[in-house]
Structure 1
Amino acid sequence: MRKIKQGDQVVVVAGKDKGERGTVLRVVQRRRGLGVVVEGVNQVRKHQKPNPQLGQPGGIIEQEKPLDISNVMLLNPATGGGDRVGFKVLEDGRKVRYFKSNGETVDA
């Protein structure tokens, strides 16, 4: 189980996009560990050649690149900011994520 999953609301805590908020589109494996692609964050411009077989036009396209997973924190709706996440096992045997600051569970 990962601390940050696809679909989570996160806030960027380091880098050029510090303070930005967004939704995790996907979690990717990189050479140096895990990374996350966040919607609207870490936008880069890519020069793309046209590929008629796939129907791709050429030109300059905007695209999101992965951030290191250590540079984002899960957004706590109670506090409105980023928060650390831990794991605990409930009485019924389920393993859930919870916010370390107030103890609320992330997964209902």
Structure 2
Amino acid sequence: MEISGSAFNSGISTIQAGQRRVDQAASAIASNAVTQPQQPTSTPPANQVNAAPNAAEQTRPDLAESLVALRVGQNEAQAGAKVVKTADEVLGTLIDTTA
């Protein structure tokens, strides 16, 4: 019985961790969209070198990292749900066997 309880607890904590990761990533994406609106960029004159990237280019890695974190959180929550489902099935089988 402890094994099943442990599996349930592990699955639930994994779901919660995934949900926290999704929440954080969604918040980062939303704040990035609010603080860094996309602005049209102008081309520098031919004799001028553009040393500093524009604001849109600077936010792309942050956005990409947030999107990856969002997907990781989704996968983490789905994995936790599968653990809970499997633990439920195992417990159901054990109850059917012992009854």
The structure having more radius of gyration, on CA atoms, is 2
Instruction: Normalising by structure 1, report the TM-score.
Output: 0.22
Instruction: Normalising by structure 2, report the TM-score.
Output: 0.23
Between Structure 1 and Structure 2, which shows a larger proportion of strand residues?
1
Which structure's relative contact order is higher, taking Cα pairs within 8 Å and 6+ residues apart?
2
Between Structure 1 and Structure 2, which shows a larger proportion of helix residues?
2
